[in-house]
Amino acid sequence: GNVFRGTLQDGRVVVIKKKVSELELDILLRIRSASIVNLVGFSSDAQQKCLVFDYMHLGRLSRRLFDDTLPPISWGNRLRIALQISRAVEYLHTYAEPHIVHLNISAENVLLDGSWNAKLSGFGRAQ
């Protein structure tokens, strides 16, 4: 779906994702992990569903890996990213009830906050 950046009344910067599936909304409402993108809120009506997430200041991992105009990611940060995403997968497969299979883990669906912490996103295909 379409993604927009916005600011809440308290000053927090968020991302608003439009055109999400009922399944994605259901999954995101059930999970909470430090390694999964934080769902701040949602809007659901008959015509459109929107999800609101914390804004991830460094953006998609894919951009950081493949955009030659950006400095390379340090090996320490690469290791931390790999560990955090593996923790997200462990949470989904082991602790989420019922267990969740993401089905689309890629650098496009890994987001980075301003401190190089990785969060898994993109639950549109999850089961």
Domain ranges in the chain are 3-120
Contacts of residue 106, defined as CB under 8 A and 6 or more positions apart, other chains included, come to 62, 122
Conformation bin of residue 28: beta by default, left when phi > 0, alpha when psi is -120 to 50: alpha
Please give the CATH number for the structural domain made up of 3-120.
Answer: 1.10.510.10
**Pick from 89, 127, 111: nearest CA to 38:** 111
Is residue 120 within 8 Å of residue 37, measured between CB atoms? Answer: yes
21 or 5: whose pLDDT is higher?
5
2 or 107: whose pLDDT is higher?
107
Q: What angle do CA 81, 85, 88 make, to 5 degrees?
A: 145
Given a cut of 80, whether residue 21 has pLDDT beyond it is yes
Please, which pLDDT band fits residue 1 given cuts at 50, 70 and 90?
low
The predicted-structure confidence for 30-66, as pLDDT tens digits, reads as follows 999 999 999 999 987 777 889 999 999 999 999 999 9
